[in-house]
Amino acid sequence: MNKIFYKLFFIYALIISSLFIIFGLIFLYLFHVDLYEDFEETYTHQQQQITKVLKASEEFAWTEEETMAALEPNLDEKDFYVFLFEVDGNRIFKDVPFKQGEIGKGLLDKAISGEYVAKGGWNNGDLSYMIASPIEGQVIMVMVFHDLSHAYQQVLYMILLTFAITIAIAGIVIWFLSARITAPLRDMNEIALKYAKGDFSQSVQVSSKDEIGQLGESFNHMAAELNSLEETRKAFIANVSHDLRTPLTSIKGFLIALLDDTIPADQRKEFYLLMKDETERVIKLVNDTLDMSQLEAGQVTLKPTSYNLTKQLQLIAVKLEPHLANKKLEIQLIPDNQEMMVVADRDRIEQALINLLQNAIQVSSHQQNIQVMLERKSEEVVISITDHGEGIKKENLEHIWERFYKTDKARSGKTGIGIGLSIVKSIMDLHATTIEVESEVGVGTVFRFALPLMKQESDDEGEG
């Protein structure tokens, strides 16, 4: 995170410095233009004053000393000198100090020829600005603004001083601003390292609603999901290990007993059947786990066909007969003599129905009936599976579709790793149908979903 901090700091500093340099250059240029405009105005004013004096001198026939005395205030000021020349290049009114070469011959020649000339540059080691033009009569006026280096130095000094103060203040502000911006990122980095080690006890403190705040919320959401996934993984391993160990332990025990001949020959068939049941239990567990993985990965493709739902339920009841017989239960199909032709993936619907019916068998007490009701509604048939078990508490209903949600959390003493109903929900989602559940503690539970009728079936009903 320090890299980001320093990057932000130096980027902000570079931007501010660059902008200030651009500002300084623009300010210096505007100062230069404004200064030369002031020189032009000063020249015009002095030209008018000198012209008045020269006219008065000619009108009243002043002597050279009198004319010089009148001109003197306009020829030598603190910031400039004024020199007067005749058209032949000879200087007149010579009281103002004059250095040889101070005024270039080219500039003077242009003024003598009638041009208005303005020129700046270095002259005798001093930055100056000169303006020359003809004025009253045959007189050439040259104004030299001297010591401009000092003026520019003063401006540069003020710019640099302001720059230094601004950069110092901006540096402090940028430092704390960068630290504030990167602080949540540093926290996320430290917490992410803990998450990588499996410690999900901490979360990012979100104190803003900007992009970093949203990132923090997403980070916390991700942590919650990872924590949930980790708990799910642990629960899955624990549940699968338990549900695999129990039947495998039983099978191992039976095999040892058979190998040791401790089981009488007339009872061996019974133990073989028990071993078969335990093996089927392990196979179902593995198949359910694989099915769940395929469903979640989106690797299951439905193959809808038209088939007889009534006959399918009758065959399922026969398959489940051994489980029903153990508890002296019976599946009642209502109606049981009316064909319902539906359009769905036969194998997946059978898988869902078996899971729902096995679930109903598991929670039902001895000598209770399980009702499977088929009800035509418009272009679909509604399938309801009702058991008379202990029911599910209201607060647990929303969780029963979750992966690895153990049924004993809602129904104590029941087995299973908690993916049967999750598989059912995924199959129904693939069929774009909704499965609903209603339950009352002490009364029982009803699972209900709908499947589309074959078009001919729905049309016949409409005609009837």
Q: Both 320 and 241 in a single domain?
A: no
Q: Both 287 and 406 in a single domain?
A: no
Residue 451 in domain: yes
Q: What secondary structure does DSSP assign to 111-171, as a single string?
A: HHTT--EEEEEEETTEEEEEEEEE-STTEEEEEEE--HHHHHHHHHHHHHHHHHHHHHHHH
Q: Both 283 and 333 in a single domain?
A: no
If you average pLDDT over each of 123-127, 164-168, 453-457, which comes out highest?
164-168
Q: What secondary structure does DSSP assign to 54-102, as a single string?
A: HHHHHHHT--HHHHHHHHHHHHB-SSEEEEEEETTS-EESTTS---TTS
Sequence-distant (6+) residues with CB within 8 A of 348 are 300, 302, 427, 430, 431
What pLDDT sits at residue 238? 72
Average pLDDT over residues 165-169: 85
What pLDDT sits at residue 383? 92
Q: Which domain holds residue 285?
A: 211-296
Q: Both 144 and 242 in a single domain?
A: no
H-helix or E-strand containing 6? helix 2-60
**From residue 254, how far is each of 202, 265, 286, 326, 415 by CA, in Å?**
49, 13, 22, 20, 21
Residue 181 in domain: no
Residue 77 in domain: yes
If you average pLDDT over each of 37-41, 225-229, 413-417, which comes out highest?
37-41
What pLDDT sits at residue 414? 46
Predicted model pTM:
0.50
3-state secondary structure of 413: coil
Residue 290 confidence (pLDDT) above 50: yes
At 122, the pLDDT band (50, 70, 90 cuts) reads confident
Length of the chain: 464
What pLDDT sits at residue 459? 55
At 411, the pLDDT band (50, 70, 90 cuts) reads very low
Sequence-distant (6+) residues with CB within 8 A of 314 are 333, 336
What pLDDT sits at residue 33? 87
| Residue 91, burial from CB neighbour count under 10 angstroms (0-12, 13-18, 19+) | middle
Query: Model confidence over 85-112: pLDDT tens digits?
Result: 888 878 887 766 665 556 777 888 888 8
CATH of the domain at 270: 1.10.287.130
Give the Cα separation of 83 and 108 in Å (integer): 11
What pLDDT sits at residue 239? 67
Residues β-bridged to residue 383: 374, 449
Residue 105 in domain: yes
Q: Both 261 and 310 in a single domain?
A: no
Contact 149, 123 (CB under 8 A): no
Residue 14 confidence (pLDDT) above 80: yes
Residue 168 in domain: no
| Residue 143, burial from CB neighbour count under 10 angstroms (0-12, 13-18, 19+) | buried
**φ, ψ dihedrals at 320, nearest 5°:** -90, 5
Contact 113, 92 (CB under 8 A): no
Tokens of 140: 């050439």
Percent of the chain with pLDDT over 70: 88
Sequence-distant (6+) residues with CB within 8 A of 157 are none
Query: Model confidence over 258-275: pLDDT tens digits?
Result: 888 888 888 888 888 888
Query: Model confidence over 311-336: pLDDT tens digits?
Result: 999 998 888 888 788 888 888 998 87
3-state secondary structure of 313: helix
Residue 256 in domain: yes
